[in-house]
Structure 1
Amino acid sequence: MQQMDGVDGPTAELSGREKAYLYVRDQVLTSPAATGSFLSEQDLATKVGVSRTPVREALLMLQAEGLVEMVPKRGAHVPAMSGRQITELMELRGVLERHAASRALTSGRVPLESMRAALAEQETFATGASVDAARAFIDWDGRFHQVLIDSAGSELLSTTYAGLRARQLRIGLTALFSASDRQHNVCAEHQAIIDALEVGDEGLVHEKINSHLEVTLQILLRA
């Protein structure tokens, strides 16, 4: 199956299965409200504009990725992420992001301008109170970190990180709604990472990445 990291491309080129996969992964599973629910194949088929067969195929793919559980006679269940799973996710992010930062500094390919641009876009949604604004904020959050990851020049690293997208969007939204003024604090933490990269201090960059992820982890564990 072709790589499908987002939904920005022309959906006319996608198969019904791919459309259903992207819709469920990026629109349904990223919502904290979906946790614990059962997904209706017919409702999803209607919303995506396809038959139930490609929806079922998409759900099986998502089950293989551990994002849903297929329950006999009940359908696709969206399981909650345990504290252990959230901790492991944040630890993995830390490993990947610190490695990417080190590679970028060593190679001299630090993507400062692209990271600043992503942060500027993210800041435009920092004051929005709607769910759509929060989703856009978290989407730009993911792009900010993906830019850093991609700067390492490793296709496997980039693909691995992109594969965490659905989980990161879901817990990111949860964190926003679980702490006051989290949006502005996230932007400040992102700026601190950029500042550390700009001075070229690898230890400081790692420290700022660790601090950013640890704050988010603690918010999630308390939620």
Structure 2
Amino acid sequence: MAASGRERAYQFLKDSYLSDPERQGGFINEQEVASLIGVSRTPIREALLLLSAEDLVQLIPKRGAYVAPMSGRELSELMEMRGMVERHAAEQALRRGAAPVGPMEDALRHQEELTVPEEARTFIDWDHRFHSALVASTGNDMLIKFYDGLRARQVRAGMVALFSTQDRYASVLDEHTVILDALRSGDEAAAAAAIDSHLDATLKVLLES
């Protein structure tokens, strides 16, 4: 069954439009979005109501939908939540001898083949796949769904971080390699430390941007 206009608008705004660093701090042009995806403005407005309920946009009377930059508190809470989930996932995977090294290596290889800024969005998509592969290895459907609910903010924060400093691209690759090395060695403490270091580095870049 084909997606409805509202669904198409919702996915486009959430997955593409809102993750663009240039959109942060501005209002959404409903007609522009409608033209981009080939729908009327009504589905756009319906989609914006859904995004507002998720606190991804702010609806301001007589002004429209505002894309507020993520606050320091929101960024800190996002990294804290990610850390809790990812450390738990690493611990569970290692204790079961089921660390998803293969899928994570594949995601890292794809990242290494990309260039920034030309392919920044694809780089961040593979970044999410790298981390979500670890979470998926738990087999805990509720945890996986919860983590996936952070995706829009994770992608948005990742894009901003990538454009905030020239060396972030290389740093992400190095940090992912350290996480993989810890998982390969079966060292729970090292894996937790590598995850924390990676998220702390990302947060530092974001707070300084």
Shorter-chain TM-score range = over 0.9
| 1:89 and 2:78 matched | yes
2-structure distance, mates of 1:107, 1:18: 39
Aligned residue identity for 1:213 = L
| Equivalence for 1:70 | 59
Aligned residue identity for 2:99 = V
TM-score of the aligned structures, taking structure 1 as reference length = 0.90
Q: Deviations over 1:25-76 (max 9, x none)?
A: 1111001111111112222111111122211111111001100011111111
| Equivalence for 1:178 | 164
C-alpha displacement at 1:20, in angstroms?
Answer: 0.4
C-alpha displacement at 1:133, in angstroms?
Answer: 0.9
Q: Deviations over 1:178-200 (max 9, x none)?
A: 22321111111111111101111
| Equivalence for 2:177 | 191
2-structure distance, mates of 1:107, 1:15: 42
Quote the sequence identity (%): 51
2-structure distance, mates of 1:129, 1:100: 29
Aligned residue identity for 1:184 = A
Contact kept in structure 1, 2:116 and 2:169, CA below 8 Å? no
2-structure distance, mates of 1:52, 1:179: 36
2-structure distance, mates of 1:199, 1:29: 38
C-alpha displacement at 1:129, in angstroms?
Answer: 3.6
2-structure distance, mates of 1:166, 1:159: 13
| Equivalence for 1:205 | 191
C-alpha displacement at 1:108, in angstroms?
Answer: 2.2
| Equivalence for 2:46 | 57
| 1:28 and 2:17 matched | yes
| Equivalence for 1:7 | none
C-alpha displacement at 1:170, in angstroms?
Answer: 1.6
Aligned residue identity for 2:48 = L
Structure 1: which 5+ residue stretches go unaligned?
1-11
| Equivalence for 1:218 | 204
2-structure distance, mates of 1:73, 1:95: 40
| Equivalence for 1:108 | 97
Aligned residue identity for 2:68 = P
TM-score of the aligned structures, taking structure 2 as reference length = 0.96
| Equivalence for 1:141 | 127
| Equivalence for 1:40 | 29
Aligned residue identity for 1:146 = S
C-alpha displacement at 1:92, in angstroms?
Answer: 0.7
Secondary structure in structure 1 of the residue aligned to 2:119: helix
Contact kept in structure 1, 2:164 and 2:206, CA below 8 Å? yes
CA spacing shift, 1:43–1:180, aligned 2, 3 Å? closer
Of residues 144, 166, 172 in structure 1, which corresponds to 2:152? Answer: 166
Count how many residue pairs are aligned between Structure 1 and Structure 2. 209
2-structure distance, mates of 1:155, 1:41: 35
